[in-house]
Amino acid sequence: MDIADAADSDQPDGSDQVPPGGESEPRARLTPRQARVVRVVLASVMMAVMAVLLVLRLASRGSVLVVGVYGAALVLCGVVIELARNGRTRLGSWLLGIGLAAALAADWLLLP
């Protein structure tokens, strides 16, 4: 590397290397407070969606199994909101994703 190359470099030491991780610019990460807010909003939206699906399914076919599946999904969304409020956002995210996928799978498999 000659002097002209070092002067054109963006790095103060003259190196043009990409930082570890392979990204040229650092990603903007959420603060813990922002992550909690995002999880609470996401779980609240999913709770509203599950409530609408519950009403639609009950209108087409009234069954205790329908209430059970969608009621469990509503309770799960509430648990995720509380987990997010207490700082357990990763656990809440996994629980929300797996739980809602299981509820929708149970709807598809169990409900006529």
Q: How far is CA 104 from the centre of its chain?
A: 17
| Alpha-carbon torsion angle 54, 75, 69, 53, nearest 10 | 20
Residue 7 has pLDDT above 60, yes or no: no
Q: How confident is the model at residue 23 (pLDDT cuts 50, 70, 90)?
A: low
Residue 94 has pLDDT above 70, yes or no: yes
- Whether this prediction's pTM lies above 0.85 is answered by no
> Which amino acid is residue 60, in one-letter code?
S
Name the residue with tokens 């054109």.
8
Comparison of pLDDT for 52 and 1, the residue scoring more: 52
